[in-house]
């Protein structure tokens, strides 16, 4: 097992991890290591090829990969170490206050990294079908909007031809437009709530401009097709979200995309024993973004789901500074 | 015509157990399966319970094979390396008036040969399992109750049968069984013949049986719906928790799974459609509501997936049959039925394998296979491995350090291994059932594109050919803009322009 020692280990090389690394470096930390499970830095931004990123941070409109690249270039310029294709499997706490991060990758095998401070920046994941408990068959053709986005934007592949989208979160709205541009027919977007969860600009630019109907207070009450999706039943719901009998209608489609919310990805945080917040699904943090375990900080979507990446960067910038301050004060004692 | 000594129809857990036990003798065996993988019918969608054996009527095959199957499970799970745990089971009694029924269950269990049965007070129950409802008046405790990975057992049996020479024909739906000197079977347009046929066709066992026998049987699919909950509530109960059947129905069970999730279900509803594995809003809400009677703090919002399975419920001469039909059909020599294998069929499977093999061996003796391989080693499991084991696996093959499914921590090494095993995975569901990639809380959102890529690479086909579960269940439908391009091509050729522009567009991604 290869071993090393760091001052700050950052778990996740997406927008949160990158901004946190930069600010920790600027605040004077020397030994910083970013651990990223993917083959490149940038996180989910790499598949978000639409524009609209960076209006707050850079005062200009960038695509996701462009936004990521600005930070990646700064991180490289600062010569901050990164390990790519590296999965963290565990974080534990030593009695003397050091944290031990266990990770693995193909080149080095198992790694054990002792560090004074950890910044959690693992991001979030999409809520799957099961969490929505949509009845019906379980054929191919049901994807989370982000999975479809990966196939289309990263692989150049189409996951379907005729699409219904459930949930009007931003990824769902963005994917409605994307699928149309790539040659698919998007039948409609259905939203359980009486209002959309997405940004107004996305409703206008991604649905209205393409003539895609948005049905509010509507849900998918059945999925048809045994091997591949053949259609869905949509149903109006009342003010309590309960289906209104008799309001059903069928929509033929071969694909159902789900965009029904994001959940912070906190396996490692829970494994470490940090106190969790049931409302945000993220760790409980103090005003320094430090969770219930001293020297462990959290920022970005792992802490709570953010609407804009600019906000993620701003929060992570703080987390990096607080982690650096920890290393330089309390961290000295350990 | 492909000739075998024995042909087994159906690669579910019964068919594969029979194949494995029959392979202990020198004979040629084929298994014909209509689906694209083993374990695709009732065997994949059930409670994963190893029943103690107090439910079935004393003297029935169900009772005998249940107790025997339960006894065999420790040794078999070690021999074939599949997950099994004896966590004990509880049958909860909610009303004083029902207590005699609980005692009856205990007596019946004892008559069936179940050891260690005990009626516990509510206090004793909560000592075992603190989350059990305050409304109970007593419970029957069976220490021999257990849980097993239903896929793990089915796949282990299939792999072990295959290394002992059994040939599996997947995507081979049997359309005809003809009795002549022996039997001639048509499956996927191919002809097979054998003097001995085993009918282990699950909910279709009636159709297969009725092709050769005048004594018609009928199987009604009885659907059961389930909710599988997140691992973060997997510890809510330690035992498998049943409810004493009452006028409200047979009750809903709540159990941990061998992988640490919590499973709640099943409903029971007779349906007409033998492929009717769709879930319903009513069914799923009933599961959570009734499950909540047994256990405090059951939270339906922690469901990560729901599914339905079909029990093969048997009718003979128009009457419900309470027992399995296992044996040679009276009017069809060499044709053995293994029909009506509903609960506790999974528990019984090893005993069914042993029992059917003994029956066949008696009538059609064959010498022992001297080089029979009894032991099978499972796919390495990085998530559960110690750091030393992980280190050893990665040193031998770095692909074991490349995590593909982050929720369940499944690596490229495990997925590649699952594909190249005997009767290996060819579909996303096949990989999922062998490695758990995609079975976690994100339900394959992150890993399915990567698993798809590995499947295509290892099988040497394009990603567009990879399916979720065979047939028409391809994941991808083409390339981006291909519809736009072919429309452009059509327009161009209509304009007499030989589609030059479209060629340019396609060039980049051959």
Contact A161 B477 (CB under 8 A): yes
Q: Are A141 and A228 in contact (CB under 8 A)?
A: yes
In a mutagenesis test of the A interface, which of B445, B450, B472, B482 is the best target, namely the one with the most A β-carbons within 10 Å?
B445
pLDDT value at residue B414 = 98
Confidence of residue B498 (pLDDT cuts 50, 70, 90): very low
d(CA A120, CA A295): 11
d(CA B134, CA B94): 9
Q: Which residue of A has its CA nearest to B283?
A: A135
Contact B407 A267 (CB under 8 A): yes
pLDDT value at residue B119 = 98
pLDDT value at residue A239 = 93
d(CA A294, CA A324): 13
Distance of residue B391 Cα from the nearest chain A Cα, in angstroms: 6
Listed in sequence order, the DSSP H helices in B368-411 are 387-396
Confidence of residue B487 (pLDDT cuts 50, 70, 90): confident
d(CA A320, CA A328): 12
Mean pLDDT score of chain A, rounded to an integer? 95
Closest CA to B468 of B430, B412, B439: B430
Closest CA to B361 of B2, B6, B3, B1: B6
For B368-381, b where at least 16 C-beta lie within 10 A, e where not — what string? Answer: eeeeeeeebebbbb
Q: Which residue of A has its CA nearest to B398?
A: A106
Q: E-assigned strands of chain A?
A: 2-11, 32-35, 51-53, 62-63, 81-83, 87-93, 99-105, 109-120, 124-126, 142-144, 157-158, 162-166, 185-190, 214-215, 218-224, 231-236, 249-252, 255-258, 262-264, 296-298
Percentage of chain A beyond pLDDT 90 is 93
Contact A107 B227 (CB under 8 A): no
Please write the tens of the pLDDT for every residue from B452-483.
999 999 999 999 999 999 999 999 999 998 87
Q: Does A221 touch chain B (CB under 8 A)?
A: yes
Asked whether the domain spanning B387-465 has the same topology as the one spanning B2-363, the reply is no
pLDDT value at residue B286 = 94
**Nearest Cβ partner of B448 from A89, A147, A154?**
A147
Please write the tens of the pLDDT for every residue from B20-60.
999 999 999 999 999 999 999 999 999 999 999 999 999 99
Chain A segment 71-110 residues within 8 A of B by beta carbon are 85, 87, 89, 102, 104-107, 109-110
pLDDT value at residue A269 = 97
pLDDT value at residue B501 = 44
pLDDT value at residue B247 = 67
pLDDT at residue B130 tops 50: yes
Contact B477 A126 (CB under 8 A): no
pLDDT value at residue B508 = 39
Contact A158 B275 (CB under 8 A): no
Closest CA to A3 of A108, A135, A105: A108
Closest CA to A197 of A253, A150, A256, A145: A145
CB burial of residue B390 (10 Å; 0-12, 13-18, 19+): buried
Give the residue numbers of B annotated as catalytic, written as ranges: 51
pLDDT at residue A254 tops 70: yes
Please write the tens of the pLDDT for every residue from A110-165.
999 999 999 999 999 998 877 777 899 999 999 999 999 999 999 999 999 999 99
CATH of span B387-465: 1.10.10
Provide the 10 A C-beta neighbour count for residue A327. Answer: 25
Taking the CA atoms of A30, A34, A39 and A41 in sequence, report the sign of the dihedral they define. Answer: negative
Q: Are A79 and A297 in contact (CB under 8 A)?
A: no
Taking the CA atoms of B324, B327, B330 and B331 in sequence, report the sign of the dihedral they define. Answer: positive
Task: Return the C-alpha torsion angle B20, B455, A111, A331, nearest 10.
Answer: -120
In a mutagenesis test of the A interface, which of B282, B306, B454, B480 is the best target, namely the one with the most A β-carbons within 10 Å?
B480
Please write the tens of the pLDDT for every residue from A281-322.
999 999 999 999 999 999 999 999 999 999 999 999 999 999
d(CA B6, CA B25): 11
Confidence of residue B506 (pLDDT cuts 50, 70, 90): very low
pLDDT at residue B262 tops 80: yes
Cβ neighbours of B443 in A, within 8 Å: 128-130
Confidence of residue B497 (pLDDT cuts 50, 70, 90): low
- Number of cross-chain residue pairs from A and B with Cβ atoms under 8 Å apart: 154
Q: Are A324 and A316 in contact (CB under 8 A)?
A: no
pLDDT at residue B411 tops 60: yes
**β-bridge pairing A109-120 and A296-298:** parallel
d(CA A174, CA A161): 16
Per the rule left: phi > 0, alpha: psi between -120 and 50, beta: everything else, A241 is left
Contact A106 B399 (CB under 8 A): yes
Cβ neighbours of B441 in A, within 8 Å: 125, 128
Token pair of B19 as six digits: 């194949």
pLDDT at residue A30 tops 70: yes
Contact B468 A125 (CB under 8 A): no
d(CA A188, CA A257): 11
Q: Which ipTM value was assigned to this complex?
A: 0.95
In a mutagenesis test of the B interface, which of A43, A107, A146, A157 is the best target, namely the one with the most B β-carbons within 10 Å?
A157
Provide the 10 A C-beta neighbour count for residue B130. Answer: 11
**Nearest Cβ partner of A228 from B402, B406, B472?**
B472
Cβ neighbours of A136 in B, within 8 Å: 278-279
Please write the tens of the pLDDT for every residue from B206-251.
999 999 999 999 999 999 999 999 998 999 999 999 999 876 667 8
Please write the tens of the pLDDT for every residue from B155-196.
999 999 999 999 999 999 999 999 999 999 999 999 999 999
**Nearest Cβ partner of B467 from A140, A183, A254?**
A140
pLDDT value at residue A175 = 97
Is pTM beyond 0.80? Reply is: yes
Q: Which residues contact B270 (CB under 8 A, 6 or more apart)?
A: B220, B221, B222, B223, B313
Cβ neighbours of B442 in A, within 8 Å: 125-126, 128, 144
Token pair of A199 as six digits: 């940004």
What single string gives the DSSP state of each residue in A75-102?
A: HHHTT-EEE-S-EEEEEEE-TTS-EEEE
Please write the tens of the pLDDT for every residue from A184-217.
999 999 999 999 989 999 999 999 999 999 999 9
Closest CA to A301 of A100, A44, A62: A44
pLDDT value at residue B297 = 94
pLDDT at residue A58 tops 80: yes
Distance of residue B406 Cα from the nearest chain A Cα, in angstroms: 8
* Main-chain phi, psi angles of B289, to 5 degrees: -65, -50
Contact A135 B445 (CB under 8 A): no
d(CA A298, CA A285): 8
Q: Does A147 touch chain B (CB under 8 A)?
A: yes
Q: Does A234 touch chain B (CB under 8 A)?
A: no
d(CA A268, CA A11): 10
Contact A157 B479 (CB under 8 A): yes
What Rg value do the Cα atoms of chain B yield, rounded? 25
DSSP 3-state of A129:
helix
Contact A183 B480 (CB under 8 A): yes
Domain ranges of chain B: 2-363, 387-465, 479-510
CA A285-A287-A288 angle, to 5 degrees, is 85
Length of chain A: 334
Confidence of residue B502 (pLDDT cuts 50, 70, 90): very low
Confidence of residue A2 (pLDDT cuts 50, 70, 90): confident
DSSP 3-state of B434:
helix
pLDDT value at residue B510 = 36
pLDDT value at residue B496 = 59
Q: Which residue of B has its CA nearest to A134?
A: B281
Please write the tens of the pLDDT for every residue from B66-89.
999 999 999 999 999 999 999 999
Distance of residue B301 Cα from the nearest chain A Cα, in angstroms: 6
Confidence of residue B447 (pLDDT cuts 50, 70, 90): very high
CB burial of residue B179 (10 Å; 0-12, 13-18, 19+): middle
Chain A segment 267-296 residues within 8 A of B by beta carbon are 267, 270
Mean pLDDT score of chain B, rounded to an integer? 94
Compute the 3-state secondary structure of chain B and give helix, strand, coil in percent, each to the nearest 5.
35, 25, 40
Confidence of residue B442 (pLDDT cuts 50, 70, 90): confident
Reply yes or no on domain B2-363 having CATH 3.40.50.2300: no
Q: Does A126 touch chain B (CB under 8 A)?
A: yes
pLDDT value at residue B507 = 38
């Amino acid at each position: 097992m290869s071993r090393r020692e760091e001052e700050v280990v950052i778990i996740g090389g997406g927008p949160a991890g990158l901004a946190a690394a930069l600010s920790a470096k600027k605040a004077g930390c020397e030994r910083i290591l970013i651990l990223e499970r993917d083959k490149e830095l940038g996180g989910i931004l790499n598949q978000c090829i639409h524009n609209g990123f960076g209006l707050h941070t850079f005062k200009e409109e960038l695509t996701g990969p462009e936004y990521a690249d600005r930070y990646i270039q700064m991180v490289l310029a600062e010569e901050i170490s990164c390990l790519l294709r590296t999965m963290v499997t565990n974080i534990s706490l030593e009695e003397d206050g050091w944290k031990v991060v266990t990770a693995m990758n193909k080149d080095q095998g198992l790694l054990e990294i002792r560090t004074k401070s950890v910044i959690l920046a693992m991001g979030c994941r999409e809520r799957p079908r099961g969490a929505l408990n949509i009845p019906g068959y379980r054929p191919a053709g049901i994807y989370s909007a982000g999975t479809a986005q990966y196939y289309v934007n990263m692989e150049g592949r189409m996951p379907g031809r005729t699409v219904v989208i459930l949930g009007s979160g931003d990824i769902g709205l963005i994917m409605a437009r994307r699928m149309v541009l790539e040659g698919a027919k998007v039948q409609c977007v259905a939203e359980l709530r009486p209002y959309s969860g997405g940004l107004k600009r996305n409703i206008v630019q991604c649905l209205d401009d393409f003539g895609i109907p948005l049905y509010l207070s509507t849900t998918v009450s059945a999925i048809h097709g045994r091997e591949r999706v053949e259609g869905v039943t949509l149903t109006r719901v009342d003010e309590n979200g309960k289906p209104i009998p008799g309001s059903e209608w069928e929509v033929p489609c071969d694909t159902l995309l789900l965009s029904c919310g994001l959940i912070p990805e906190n396996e490692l945080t829970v494994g470490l024993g940090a106190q969790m917040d049931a409302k945000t699904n993220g760790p409980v943090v103090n005003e320094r973004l430090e969770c219930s375990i001293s020297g462990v900080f959290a920022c970005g979507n792992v802490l709570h789901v953010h609407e804009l990446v600019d906000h993620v960067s701003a929060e992570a910038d703080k987390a990096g500074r607080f982690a650096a301050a920890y290393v330089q004060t309390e961290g000295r004692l350990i | 015509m492909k000739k075998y000594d024995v042909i087994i129809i159906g690669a579910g857990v019964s068919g594969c157990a029979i194949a494995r036990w029959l392979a202990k003798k020198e004979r040629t065996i084929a298994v014909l399966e209509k689906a694209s993988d083993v374990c695709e019918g009732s065997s994949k969608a059930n409670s994963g319970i190893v029943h103690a054996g107090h439910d079935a009527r004393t003297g029935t095959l169900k009772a005998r094979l249940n107790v025997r199957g339960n006894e065999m499970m420790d040794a078999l799970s070690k021999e074939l390396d599949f997950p099994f745990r004896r966590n004990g089971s509880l049958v909860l009694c909610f009303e004083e008036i029902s207590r005699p029924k609980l005692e009856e269950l205990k007596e019946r269990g004892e008559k069936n040969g179940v050891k260690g049965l005990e009626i516990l007070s509510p206090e004793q129950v909560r000592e075992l399992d603190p989350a059990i409802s305050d409304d109970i008046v007593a419970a029957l405790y069976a220490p021999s109750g257990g849980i097993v990975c239903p896929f793990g057992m089915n796949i282990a049996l299939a792999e072990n049968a295959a290394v002992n020479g059994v040939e599996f024909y997947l995507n081979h739906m049997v359309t005809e069984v003809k009795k002549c000197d022996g039997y001639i079977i048509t499956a996927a347009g191919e002809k097979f013949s054998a003097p001995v046929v085993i009918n282990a066709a699950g909910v279709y066992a009636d159709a297969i049986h009725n092709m050769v026998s005048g004594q018609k049987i009928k199987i009604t699919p009885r659907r059961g719906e389930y909710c599988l909950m997140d691992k973060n509530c997997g510890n809510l109960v330690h035992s498998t928790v049943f409810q004493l059947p009452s006028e409200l129905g047979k009750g809903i069970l709540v159990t941990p799974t061998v992988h640490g999730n919590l499973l709640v279900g099943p409903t029971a509803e007779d349906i007409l459609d033998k492929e009717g594995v769709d879930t319903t809003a009513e069914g799923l809400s009933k599961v959570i509501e009734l499950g909540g009677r047994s256990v405090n703090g059951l939270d339906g919002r922690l469901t990560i997936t729901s599914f339905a399975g079909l029990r093969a419920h048997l009718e003979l001469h128009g009457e419900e049959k309470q027992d399995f039909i296992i044996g040679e059909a009276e009017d069809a020599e060499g044709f053995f039925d293994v029909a009506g294998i509903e609960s506790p069929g999974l528990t019984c499977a090893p005993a069914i394998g042993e029992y059917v093999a003994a029956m066949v061996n008696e009538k059609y003796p064959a010498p022992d296979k001297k080089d029979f391989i009894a032991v099978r080693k499972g796919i390495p499991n990085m998530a559960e491995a110690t750091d030393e084991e992980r280190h050893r696996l990665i040193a031998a093959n770095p692909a074991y350090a490349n995590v593909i499914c982050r929720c369940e921590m499944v690596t490229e090494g495990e997925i590649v291994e699952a594909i190249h095993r005997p009767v290996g995975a060819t579909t996303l569901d096949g990989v999922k059932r062998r490695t758990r990639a995609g079975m976690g809380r994100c339900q394959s959102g992150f890993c399915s594109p990567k698993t798809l890529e590995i499947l295509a690479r290892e099988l040497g086909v394009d990603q567009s050919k990879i399916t979720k579960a065979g047939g028409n269940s391809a994941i991808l439908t083409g390339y981006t803009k291909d519809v736009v391009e072919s429309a452009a091509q059509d327009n161009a050729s209509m304009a007499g322009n030989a589609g030059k522009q479209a060629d340019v567009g396609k060039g980049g991604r051959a």
